[in-house]
Amino acid sequence: MRVPYFYAAMMLAAIASPLGAKTIPVAAGEGAQERLQEALILAEPGDTVELGAGIFKLTDGLSLDVPRITVRGAGADEAGSVLDFTGQMGAGEGLLVTSDDVLLRDFAVLNTKGDGIKSKGADRIIYHQLRVEWTAGPKESNGAYGIYPVESADVLIDSVYVRGASDAGIYVGQSRNIIVRDSIAMENVAGIEIENSYDADVTGNIATRNTGGILVFDLPNLPQMGGRNVRVFGNIVTGNMTPNFAPKGNIVASVPTGTGILVMANRDVRIFDNVIDDHGTANIMIIGYRYPFDDPKYNPLPRGVITYGNQHGRAGFAPAMDGGKELATAAGGSLPPVFWDGSGEDMVFGDAVDVLTLGLTDPQAGLAAAKPAPIAPADAVVVKARVGDGGKPIILPEAMEARIR
């Protein structure tokens, strides 16, 4: 039996908008802290918390633990919905989300004492058309992370802007099935960081004026390790020359100023079709984890990193890593655009540029054991059959994409 069109349309509308779903408006102005947190507590699955235009002056962090909620503002620019945490009393995040199927869109978060927006254990989380910013620019006292999903499955970060984070502007950690796209990260220590995560696409982004543009790390002693299958492609990574302002002791405090794309101890990473330019240390750096660790399950070596089709501009003119000046002098004044410490295996250098390897098999051995040597594109290390292997695209649930269309 054919279902009448109007009846089918009503059924689809009911699925998209659960029965009883409501919009809870919250205006800026006096009492915004209490009114907004109350709305986030009282919202029921399917509801939308709608932020009015204006500045919400907030003195404490906000939290959301109700699933299937949309938090939507009137825009992320100055005329939109601005959550201003300049007067925040504690050191926590601005907004913490711990529930599934949440959409955050069209608002700004400014000057949090801790992280900007954090989600933990929140599956199918969407960050869309947001701005997180520390308005005084790069400072060690800024919050660590701007956009910060962790321990999640199905993560979409789309069209966000982050500036000033003292660790990473856009960070995804210990998660799987991730897309970070069409976003801007500038004047952070790390612009975009994928850490201890599986299956990620980082594409269509602009990373500029950070210390390091895009980082793909795997670290020891974390609940999820063995980061793998990360594709970094179609990005503009340029001018990441901001001096490192991370607090001492943070892992990103070791990122050399002037690093474009940095892979550390990860595997099956594809770096292709990016524009990478104006980095004093290297456009692309591939290294092992060089610090002591006591985790027997951890592999500190990079494996299966493929680079090809990238457009390289100038690089290596002011290397900031240990021994960089000496290496540059020995190389005639500057280093090649691609730097590999020599550790790990199955590297494919398919770009039409030279590569410098330190020839280290143990990343903890240090420069004393290094045997620096150039690798020309025509050398046998280039496995031509694998150049052009773009890997498998990440596909998120269609319902996630539909929510922002």
Question: Which DSSP category does 394 fall into?
Answer: P
Per-residue pLDDT band at 375 (split at 50, 70, 90): confident
Helix (H) or strand (E) holding 82: strand 81-84
Read out DSSP for 183-220?
-EEESSSEEEEEES-EEEEEES-EEESSSEEEEEE--S
- Find out whether 251 and 264 touch, Cβ atoms under 8 Å: no
pLDDT at 3 over 70: no
Per-residue pLDDT band at 129 (split at 50, 70, 90): very high
pLDDT at 12 over 60: no
pTM score of the predicted model = 0.93
- Alpha-carbon span 56 to 147, nearest angstrom: 19
Q: Model confidence over 78-92: pLDDT tens digits?
A: 999 999 999 999 888
Mean pLDDT of 187-213: 98
Mean confidence (pLDDT) of the chain: 92
Per-residue pLDDT band at 18 (split at 50, 70, 90): low
123-137, 232-246, 267-281, 366-380: segment of lowest average pLDDT? 366-380
- Find out whether 86 and 113 touch, Cβ atoms under 8 Å: no
pLDDT at 5 over 50: no
Helix (H) or strand (E) holding 105: strand 103-110
How large a percentage of the chain has pLDDT more than 70?
93
pLDDT at 288 over 60: yes
Mean pLDDT of 263-284: 98
Per-residue pLDDT band at 366 (split at 50, 70, 90): confident
Q: Which of 163, 113, 168 is nearest to 142 (CA)?
A: 113
How large a percentage of the chain has pLDDT more than 90?
84
151-160, 191-200, 315-324: segment of lowest average pLDDT? 315-324
Read out DSSP for 119-179?
EES-TTEEEEEEEEE-TT-S-TTS-SEEEEEES-EEEEEES-EEE--SSEEEEEES-EEEE
